[in-house]
Amino acid sequence: MAYIMIVDDDDDLAKAFAKVLTDAHHEVEIEAETSRVLERINRRPPDLVILDVMFPGNSSAGFELARDMRHDHRQLGEIPILMLTAVNSKFPTGFSERDIDADWLPVTDFVEKPVDLGVLMSKVSALLQRGASAIERSERAQ
């Protein structure tokens, strides 16, 4: 069972994801505003963050939050981030894996809207496994 934070201002979408993740026995919290996320995840770091790109008033708030987390050299930088994107890889103007880097696309993985729930679950599982392995490696290194 993992603790997952969903950061998305779309309550309907966030609740749908939360239901699926809860049914898979994960603990889920939803946060609608990016300004509160860092404080919350500093208090209790999640095992995974599912993060939307666009938020009201700032079309790149998701990117900025992800970048802030990546540039944190403490534990926040290790938290896997799954980004929800609005473009579709069927048409080649979407993101691809080669776009993932700490500055341009500072996330661990992305999933395209409209989100296929099966794809979402498989990506969540893969990222949670990766996250767990990273923590193990970090603890061994210490």
Q: Which residues bind another protein (CB under 8 A)?
A: 10, 12-13, 16-17, 19-20, 23, 54, 84, 86-88, 90-93, 113-117
**Of 7 and 41, which CB lies nearer to another protein in the complex structure?**
7
**Of 15 and 40, which CB lies nearer to another protein in the complex structure?**
15
Query: Minimum distance between the CB of residue 59 and another protein, rounded to whole angstroms?
Result: 8
Query: Minimum distance between the CB of residue 98 and another protein, rounded to whole angstroms?
Result: 13
**Of 67 and 113, which CB lies nearer to another protein in the complex structure?**
113
Question: What six digits make up the tokens of 38?
Answer: 């860092």
Main-chain dihedrals φ then ψ at residue 93, nearest 5 degrees: -95, 10
User: What is the SS3 assignment for 30?
Assistant: strand
**Of 54 and 134, which CB lies nearer to another protein in the complex structure?**
54
Query: Minimum distance between the CB of residue 10 and another protein, rounded to whole angstroms?
Result: 5
> What 3 state SS string does 82-134 have?
EEEECCCCCCCCCCCHHHCECCCECCCEEEECCCCHHHHHHHHHHHHHHHHHH
The answer to whether 83 and 66 are in contact (CB under 8 A) is: yes
Query: Minimum distance between the CB of residue 5 and another protein, rounded to whole angstroms?
Result: 17
Strand partners, 85: 112
